Amino acid sequence: METKPSDFRVPDIFADWCPGCGNFGIMNALQMAFAELGLEPHRVVMVSGIGCSGKQAHNVRVNGVHTLHGRTLPFATGVKVANPELEVIAIGGDGDGLGIGAGHFVNAGRRNIDMTYIIHNNGVYGLTKGQASPTLKRDLKTKSLPKPNINDAVNPIGLAIISGYTFVGRSYAFDVRHLKDIIKQAIQHKGLAFVDCLQPCPTYNDINTKDWYAGEDRRDALGKPQSRLYKLEEAGFDPLVRDWKEDWQKKATALEKAQEWGDKIPIGVFYKKEYESTFEERISGRIPFYAERPPAKQKLGNEKGISTVDLSEFLDDLKTS
Amino acid sequence: MVTESINWMAGGAQGAGVDTAANIFGKACGYGGLYVFGRREYHSNIKGLHSYFHLRVSLKEILANVNDVNLLAAFDAETVVRHIQEVTPEGGIIVDAMEMNRKILDIPTLPPEFKVQLDNFLKENGIGETLKDLLDFAEKKNVHVFPVPYIALLNKIGKQLNISQISKITRMINVLTIGVSFALLKYDKSLVEKAVKSMFPEKIATMNIVAFNEAYDYALRVFKDKLSFKLERTDAKEERIFVTGNQAVAMGKVLGGCRVQTYYPITPAADESEYLEEHQILKTGSEEEAIVVVQTEDEIAAINSASGAVMAGARAATSTSGPGFSLMAEGLSWAGHSEVPVVVTYYQRGAPATGLPTRHGQADLRFAMHAGHGEFPRIILASGDIRECFYDAANVFNLAEKYQMPVIHLIDKAMANCSQTYPVFPHEDFKIDRGAFLTEKDIDGKEYKRFSFTSNGISPRVALGTKGAVHWYTGDEHNETGHISEEVPNRRKMIEKRMMKLQLVDREIPSEEKMNFYGDKSSENVVVSWGSPKGAIIEASEMLKEEGFSLGFLQMRMLHPLPVEAVKRVLAGRKRIIDVEDNFTAQLAGVIKEKTGISPNFYILKYTGRPTTTTEIYEALKAILTGKASERQVLMSGN
């Protein structure tokens, strides 16, 4: 049976984001991506953090786990390790993933678990009324900041690449089709995929607005706005790492691209490596039947519920007779 | 004279093989049908600072440590200096003959405050400045000194084994002192060889056995029958194991169905996780199962990953100590709110802050009870010995899933690192009870709500991924579906639904599973305690009983929710209620007073980082029973 984006709408739920919020675009892109991939809702788990983005988990009809600020990845990791058959999508804000959760962001890269992590990147902490997030550039003063931002910004794409994410892409919340394609690629990628999703915050970020991204302030001779975003795939950028010998070179090229900002902002896939072993494969190397009988699928007891674990492997070393 | 029991201690610089020596000694005694209880003490240090292992060996089961040492195997001068006063008359000290002239106040690893104490002791007793002077003083008190030329003997052993590097040879000081110890005790050599073979790969075992025999023969030749007591093997009635608390917890966990364990390295919890990882493939009656052990980037990730695994349908736990549990507080609150049956194994150590990171403590009861913002249900179960650690570690998963709340299994460093002989724990009838846990078949097209209101507060769970049961969790207050709701009537109902489950725990679990009573049921004197002081209290009570004193002992196990009525019934009307705990503020006594209105009238407390011993509990209890004690006694034994 063909699945439609509407199959992933949650009845009786009101998405309470501000009018014009980029989250609507991301929600639509997620629903479209899930539908096009033909995912069964019960097999998908969306794990989210705290902030406006956290509510994303309630607005798509798949399993939703709305967790703690910054802890999206640890929860998602636990879900996936216990049952690798699940399609796990982690969702978080820029403050969630790159501020309070930055340690998890980096360490997740070391494991390369086969899941997708989408950061909603709007430069501000929206739900607490517009403080600077880790991705807001230094010296910018968005609407509700009493003084310009004193901290430098984190580069999410760069951090993901050097942390070991094996798929690193970026898209834009109001280019729903492009975002949907990037999300689909991220889900289909074997390994940990990161999507940096740029989005305006119409209420608190009065600098990186929809108009700013669209280049309304810079029109060509014909009066046509010159969008600040350009697509890597259209610029002939090749993100694919084919073997380990070119890995560092590809990383360096991707990092260079990740530096671009301001009047030319790349979206698309920056880096993609398919041959790296996933965490699940590494576990399977130790537990050969892990894929068929992961922790969530083990019986634990016999038909009467009696635990049948044979402790002799432990006890033999401890015996004194 | 064949002795019923001896207390043997090995001590030396950390990294010198004290643990190995103690394990060989303990196992060799175990092979001889004897009961063993070992206590391990070490600094937060990798190499160089003093560590020791105290082993009690007996024909009868031993439950705790004592202060006395009958035979001290000193790898170095510091061990002699630190423990000489614990050695009993007629006891012995094995010491390096080449260390005799060492000036003891110049031992570089002695901390300044210990030197002051030592200096005073030397002056008060007119003892000179060398190790020999100190040992002469001990000999006057009938302690036998057994000087052994360690290096000369090791060189001889090295020649036999064709090893010339001095560093490789000195690694065998531990085996050398074992050889001397067992020769002095006239113990069956073959049992020691068996122990060595069981612990090392063949090549290393052979080397150690050569070294052991050389030392054994040397001591037999030189010291003959100088020690007045002997240790003899006996026949064990049943099959036994020599096991630590960490190991018992690990075994209990896999028996109880734990299939994901997360952890961040911390003393004294990490040994358990490593042991689990080493044994991760589990044989069962049918197909193999396995536990996945994940070392996370911090304890925040550890508890939240464990919760994730639980929501996906696995039984999962995390193990930690105080500093790690501090980081878990927010995750615990989330799990309590979201009714996620996650298990936290909490090994208390010397706190606050980094505290005494490798030492013992019981100062985290209140923290375990109250950690996490807001009000949510939890269960706290405290084991009192290694056997209980095993069964409780399995049972906490049933409790967690049945009542859908986090369970904190409280243990302490004393139990984690003590090793003890036990008959193999019977475990053939342990039943997994997953509580209200639905599968696809149960759902069968019906609408599923994760937090449905029910008469007892338990909403049937499903695993994430169950067909027909897409569902939601949120740390925000939620409605039955699991979506955010800030509505007033819903909020009230949800809080009440969650908290109501505690009443179920109160009603359904019999008080015998929540507390133990030992000794004289009708005594006017009752000791109340929890955790590792249990063994010392039971042993001390038995000693006092032989002297005609009557005592009962209430060991509390379920500390939250406290079985209030049962505790009241036990404590009401007693003349003396004596609280024993390894903390400053008498936390359990405070909880009991808060919940029952009954206060202990005597306190025996210890907060030095060392476990309570039978010796000191006996003395403190006797002082109370003979009217010689103040309301509050503070214990100090240990080094």
- At B59-97, the pLDDT tens digits run 999 999 999 999 999 999 999 999 999 999 999 999 999
Q: Would you tell me the crossing angle of helices B202-223 and B189-199 to the nearest 10 degrees?
A: 150
Percent share of chain B, pLDDT over 90: 97
pLDDT value of residue B201: 96
- B470 has a pLDDT exceeding 80: yes
Which residues of chain A have a CB within 8 Å of the CB of B429? 306
pLDDT value of residue B168: 84
- At B353-389, the pLDDT tens digits run 999 999 999 999 999 999 999 999 999 999 999 999 9
Spatial CB neighbours of A231, under 8 Å, sequence gap ≥ 6:
A178, A266, A267, A268
Length of chain A: 321
CA angle B109, B115, B120 (to 5 degrees): 155
Residues B526 and B501 in one domain: no
Q: Would you tell me the crossing angle of helices A176-188 and A22-36 to the nearest 10 degrees?
A: 50
- B236 has a pLDDT exceeding 90: no
pLDDT value of residue B435: 98
Q: Choose among B416, B395, B338: nearest CA to B372.
A: B338
DSSP annotation of B447 reads -
DSSP string, A158-193: HHHHHHT-SEEEEEETT-HHHHHHHHHHHHHSSS-E
pLDDT value of residue B227: 94
Tally of CB atoms within 10 A around A43: 17
**A240-241 vs A265-273, strand pairing mode:** parallel
Chain A residue with CA closest to B335: the answer is A67
Beta carbons of A48 and A94 less than 8 angstroms apart: no
- B288 has a pLDDT exceeding 90: yes
pLDDT value of residue B125: 97
Q: Given an 8 Å threshold on Cβ–Cβ distance, is B280 in contact with A312?
A: no
Find the CB nearest B476 among A66, A78, A296. A66
Q: What is the mean pLDDT of residues A87-98?
A: 98
Which residues of chain B have a CB within 8 Å of the CB of A77? 294, 296, 301, 305, 308
pLDDT value of residue B286: 87
Q: How far is B9 from chain A (nearest CA, A)?
A: 20
Q: What is the mean pLDDT of residues B518-539?
A: 98
Residues B256 and B374 in one domain: yes
Mutate to test the interface with B, among A7, A292, A320 (most CBs of B within 10 A): A320
Q: Given an 8 Å threshold on Cβ–Cβ distance, is B251 in contact with A315?
A: yes
Q: Given an 8 Å threshold on Cβ–Cβ distance, is B316 in contact with A104?
A: no
- B531 has a pLDDT exceeding 80: yes
Residues B477 and B579 in one domain: no
Token pair of B117 as six digits: 């104490």
Q: Domain of B191?
A: 5-223
Give the span between the Cα atoms of A37 and A275, in whole angstroms: 22
Whether residue B219 is contained in a domain is answered as yes
A306 in contact with B, Cβ within 8 Å: yes
Q: Given an 8 Å threshold on Cβ–Cβ distance, is A78 in contact with B312?
A: yes
Residues B300 and B183 in one domain: no
Q: Given an 8 Å threshold on Cβ–Cβ distance, is B473 in contact with A313?
A: no
Q: How far is A320 from chain B (nearest CA, A)?
A: 5
Q: Given an 8 Å threshold on Cβ–Cβ distance, is B283 in contact with A43?
A: no
Residues B417 and B457 in one domain: no
Q: Given an 8 Å threshold on Cβ–Cβ distance, is B301 in contact with A74?
A: yes
CATH superfamily of A5-283: Thiamin diphosphate (ThDP)-binding fold, Pyr/PP domains (3.40.50.970)
Length of chain B: 639
CA angle B131, B137, B143 (to 5 degrees): 100
pLDDT value of residue B487: 98
A311 in contact with B, Cβ within 8 Å: yes
Tally of CB atoms within 10 A around B282: 21
Peptide bond into A5 cis (omega under 30): no
- Give the max Cα distance, chain B: 88
pLDDT value of residue B634: 98
What is the CATH number for B116?
3.40.920.10
B533 class by beta-carbon count within 10 Å (0-12 exposed, 13-18 middle, 19+ buried): buried
Token pair 């010491």 is found at B95
Q: Given an 8 Å threshold on Cβ–Cβ distance, is A66 in contact with B474?
A: yes
For residue B580, the SS3 value is strand
pLDDT value of residue A154: 98
Q: Given an 8 Å threshold on Cβ–Cβ distance, is B260 in contact with A82?
A: yes
Give the span between the Cα atoms of B351 and B50, in whole angstroms: 21
DSSP string, B150-210: HHHHHHHHHHHHT---HHHHHTTHHHHHHHHHHHHHT--HHHHHHHHHHHS-HHHHHHHHH
Which residues of chain B have a CB within 8 Å of the CB of A315? 241, 251, 424
- Residues 201-220, chain A: which have Cβ within 8 Å of B? none
Q: How far is A238 from chain B (nearest CA, A)?
A: 33
Alpha helices in B419-475 (DSSP H): 440-443
CA angle B339, B273, B61 (to 5 degrees): 100
Q: Given an 8 Å threshold on Cβ–Cβ distance, is B304 in contact with A75?
A: yes
| Residue ending a domain, choose from B390, B423, B456 | B423
Helices (H) and strands (E) in chain A, counts: 10, 11
Find the CB nearest A82 among B313, B428, B469. B313
A217 class by beta-carbon count within 10 Å (0-12 exposed, 13-18 middle, 19+ buried): exposed
Give the span between the Cα atoms of A156 and A165, in whole angstroms: 11
Residues B176 and B297 in one domain: no
A52 in contact with B, Cβ within 8 Å: no
Whether residue B136 is contained in a domain is answered as yes
pLDDT value of residue B71: 98
Q: What is the mean pLDDT of residues B463-482?
A: 98
- Residues 84-143, chain A: which have Cβ within 8 Å of B? 85-86, 103-104, 106-107
Q: Given an 8 Å threshold on Cβ–Cβ distance, is A318 in contact with B242?
A: yes
- B507 has a pLDDT exceeding 90: yes
- Residues 6-25, chain A: which have Cβ within 8 Å of B? 13
A292 in contact with B, Cβ within 8 Å: no
Whether residue B234 is contained in a domain is answered as no
Give the span between the Cα atoms of B264 and B275, in whole angstroms: 14
Q: Given an 8 Å threshold on Cβ–Cβ distance, is B262 in contact with A78?
A: yes
Tally of CB atoms within 10 A around B267: 18
Q: How confident is the model at residue B166 (pLDDT cuts 50, 70, 90)?
A: confident
Q: How confident is the model at residue A300 (pLDDT cuts 50, 70, 90)?
A: very high
Give the span between the Cα atoms of B542 and B523, in whole angstroms: 14
Distances, alpha carbon A290 to alpha carbons A110, A287, B292, in Å: 20, 5, 9
Q: Given an 8 Å threshold on Cβ–Cβ distance, is B463 in contact with A41?
A: no
Residues B190 and B316 in one domain: no
Question: What was the ipTM of the complex prediction?
Answer: 0.98
Q: How far is A35 from chain B (nearest CA, A)?
A: 16
Residues B336 and B448 in one domain: no
Q: How confident is the model at residue B285 (pLDDT cuts 50, 70, 90)?
A: confident
Q: Choose among B83, B86, B288, B94: nearest CA to B181.
A: B94
Q: What is the mean pLDDT of residues B266-283?
A: 98
User: What is the number of domains present in chain B?
Assistant: 4
Whether residue B568 is contained in a domain is answered as yes
Q: How confident is the model at residue B3 (pLDDT cuts 50, 70, 90)?
A: confident
Q: How far is A23 from chain B (nearest CA, A)?
A: 17
Query: Looking at per-residue confidence, does A2 or A80 come out higher?
Result: A80
Residues B284 and B418 in one domain: yes
Token pair of B382 as six digits: 């405290």
For residue B252, the SS3 value is helix
Chain A residue with CA closest to B476: the answer is A66
A62 in contact with B, Cβ within 8 Å: yes
Q: How confident is the model at residue A2 (pLDDT cuts 50, 70, 90)?
A: confident
Residues B397 and B286 in one domain: yes
Residue B568 phi, psi dihedral angles, 5° rounding: -60, -45
| For chain A, domain boundaries | 5-283
Give the span between the Cα atoms of B202 and B197, in whole angstroms: 7
What is the CATH number for B254?
3.40.50.970
Residues B43 and B153 in one domain: yes
Q: How confident is the model at residue A166 (pLDDT cuts 50, 70, 90)?
A: very high
Which residues of chain A have a CB within 8 Å of the CB of B280? 286-287
Q: Choose among B393, B469, B474, B463: nearest CA to B435.
A: B463
Distances, alpha carbon B409 to alpha carbons A38, B249, B319, B325, in Å: 43, 10, 9, 12
Residue B160 phi, psi dihedral angles, 5° rounding: -60, -35
Peptide bond into B268 cis (omega under 30): yes
Token pair of B111 as six digits: 């901390």
Report field, pTM of the whole predicted structure over 0.90: yes
Residues B410 and B468 in one domain: no
Find the CB nearest A77 among B308, B313, B428. B308
Mean pLDDT of chain B: 97
Q: How confident is the model at residue B620 (pLDDT cuts 50, 70, 90)?
A: very high
pLDDT value of residue A321: 82
| Residue ending a domain, choose from B449, B477, B508 | B508
Q: Given an 8 Å threshold on Cβ–Cβ distance, is A305 in contact with B433?
A: yes
pLDDT value of residue A136: 98
Q: What is the mean pLDDT of residues B126-149?
A: 98
Give the span between the Cα atoms of B193 and B167, in whole angstroms: 23
- B617 has a pLDDT exceeding 80: yes
Whether residue B429 is contained in a domain is answered as no
Distances, alpha carbon B325 to alpha carbons B90, B262, B396, B534, in Å: 47, 13, 17, 24
A150 in contact with B, Cβ within 8 Å: no
pLDDT value of residue B415: 97
Q: Given an 8 Å threshold on Cβ–Cβ distance, is B432 in contact with A305?
A: yes
Q: What is the mean pLDDT of residues A231-236?
A: 98
